[in-house]
Homo-oligomer: A and B are copies of this chain.
Amino acid sequence: MISPKYKEMLNQKSVIREISAYANARGKEIGYENVFDYSLGNPSVPVPEKFRETAVKLLEEKDPLALHGYSEGHGIWEVREAVAASLKKRFGLPYTGNHIFMASGAAGALAHAFRTVTVPGEDIIVFAPYFPEYVPYIEATGANIKIVEADTESFQIHFERFEELISENTAAVLINSPNNPSGIVYSGETLKRLTDILKKKQEEYGHDIYIISDEPYREIIFEGTDAPIVSRYYDNTIMCYSFSKSISIPGERIGYVAVNPNCKDGELIIHMCTQISRGIGHNCPSSLIQLVAANLLEDTADLSVYEKNMEILYKELTELGFTCVKPGGTFYMFPKALEEDAKAFCRKALKYDLALVPGDSFGCPGFFRIAYCVPTEKVERSLSAFRKLAKEYED
């Protein structure tokens, strides 16, 4: 029969997509250049030229049967080795190809990671504010999602609530730093405190607890921000990476799972990813795209525009009286709305053709997300709209 579960999901519309659809419709009316669409996290700077050059070279020079042939279920071995070598050089941990599984973007990486280290009924802890798609990702595995409320002062971790929620039933903790939607980067102090607690709890409960680290924004770090990687603090870390944001290829669906080389079950976890693929029909990212990406492991698109946009918006918004924790990376910021109901606030913003996303779906009501992956000139033109919006609340 038609699956009621998936049919029901059709009614759980994504708020982000709805606002984006509204912005698009409005663009048709008044011209897209006049809509300040801050709804979607879609990179606004092109892929490095080297991507095109590498792809063309492979297409023209490599034997097509090898180029387009089945790759091993784990991914193409030389690609996995190249990823490992790059991580080893950058982060100083002894990665080898055996610690890498090539996945369809971070979504695919997370889908696999969750299934390796949880069984239905166990808990996965998530920290607000969080990417709303974590909910369907986790629900599909049969694990429970347990949400730790945000520390809205810093958007680091609300440790008191975390210690209340962690239990014998906790299988994994999902973190996302640099963070969507707040733009915040977890400090070394935060990571130390988090991993100290987990080490103690592992001992207390007598079982492993994994950190699943969603890192698609790892390469978008602003000046002066220290962005330590959690794998250096905690052996049972499963890193989930995507090339979508760093080299602006979200449509190409490529990323990887990199298990910490010091994780005792690390290589087993990677082998299990391939088995999980059999059931979910993933198999592998495109072989062409794998081979191209392996050549761009330390390249990024010109990410400087995001920091520039952030500085412009942060200055203007704080001057207008908004409260906002200054982002350390990503292309998001997450200010406090000017009224308690962020949904009402975002509806008001639409009057000025500002498409903002209320924090409710990120598990953090009262705040709103700005995805400033748009051209800088548009950011500048949007400032008067923010001024008009703020003016509504002056009295």
Q: Which of B5, B108, B250 touches A68 (beta carbons < 8 Å)?
A: B250
Tell me, in angstroms, the Cα distance from A387 to B186 when the chains sit together: 69
Query: What is the copy number of this chain in the assembly?
Result: 2
Inter-chain contacts of A268 with B (CB < 8 A): 2, 7, 10
A71 touches B7 (CB 8 A): no
Inter-chain contacts of A207 with B (CB < 8 A): 1
Nearest CB on B from A186, distance (A):
24
Q: Assuming the A-B contacts A118-B1, A119-B3, A119-B4, are A282 and B281 also in contact, with contact meaning beta carbons closer than 8 angstroms in the complex?
A: yes
For chain A residues 32-53, which have a beta carbon within 8 Å of chain B? 40, 42-44, 46-47, 51-52
B70 touches A250 (CB 8 A): yes
Tell me if A25 is interfacial: C-beta within 8 Å of chain B: no
For chain A residues 126-166, which have a beta carbon within 8 Å of chain B? 133, 136-137, 139-141
Tell me, in angstroms, the Cα distance from A115 to B9 when the chains sit together: 13
B116 touches A271 (CB 8 A): no
A280 touches B3 (CB 8 A): no
Tell me if A289 is interfacial: C-beta within 8 Å of chain B: yes
From A59-67, A192-200, A343-351, A360-368, the one touching the partner chain is: A59-67
Inter-chain contacts of A5 with B (CB < 8 A): 119
B286 touches A286 (CB 8 A): yes
A108 touches B282 (CB 8 A): yes
Nearest CB on B from A50, distance (A):
12
Nearest CB on B from A385, distance (A):
24
What is the size category of the interface that chain A forms with chain B?
A: 35 or more
B68 touches A252 (CB 8 A): yes
B250 touches A2 (CB 8 A): no
B208 touches A1 (CB 8 A): yes
Tell me, in angstroms, the Cα distance from A115 to B288 when the chains sit together: 29
Inter-chain contacts of A105 with B (CB < 8 A): 281, 283
B137 touches A281 (CB 8 A): yes
A64 touches B46 (CB 8 A): yes
Tell me if A312 is interfacial: C-beta within 8 Å of chain B: no
Nearest CB on B from A308, distance (A):
18
Tell me, in angstroms, the Cα distance from A136 to B274 when the chains sit together: 12
Most buried by B among A55, A104, A268, A269: A104
A235-275 Cβ-contact flags toward B at 8 Å (1 or 0): 00000000000001111111000000000010011011001
A286 touches B56 (CB 8 A): no
Q: Which of B69, B118, B254, B279 touches A250 (beta carbons < 8 Å)?
A: B69
Tell me if A81 is interfacial: C-beta within 8 Å of chain B: no
Q: Which of B51, B248, B281 touches A111 (beta carbons < 8 Å)?
A: B281
Inter-chain contacts of A6 with B (CB < 8 A): 115-116, 272, 275-276
Inter-chain contacts of A119 with B (CB < 8 A): 1, 3-5
Nearest CB on B from A20, distance (A):
11
A169-181 Cβ-contact flags toward B at 8 Å (1 or 0): 0010000000000
Most buried by B among A119, A171, A282: A282
Tell me, in angstroms, the Cα distance from A118 to B179 when the chains sit together: 37
Q: Which of B71, B272, B283 touches A10 (beta carbons < 8 Å)?
A: B272
Kindly list the 8 A-B residue pairs having the minimum CB-CB distance in the complex, ordered from nearest.
A140-B279, A111-B281, A251-B287, A9-B275, A108-B281, A280-B280, A286-B286, A68-B249
Q: A1-B118, A107-B283, A252-B288 are in contact. List 18 more A-B contacts (CB 8 A).
A: A1-B207, A2-B117, A2-B208, A6-B276, A7-B268, A47-B68, A52-B64, A65-B248, A68-B248, A69-B251, A107-B278, A107-B282, A108-B282, A108-B283, A136-B275, A136-B278, A251-B284, A251-B288
Q: List 10 A-B contacts (CB under 8 A).
A: A2-B116, A5-B119, A9-B278, A44-B65, A103-B281, A109-B281, A111-B279, A252-B288, A254-B286, A282-B282
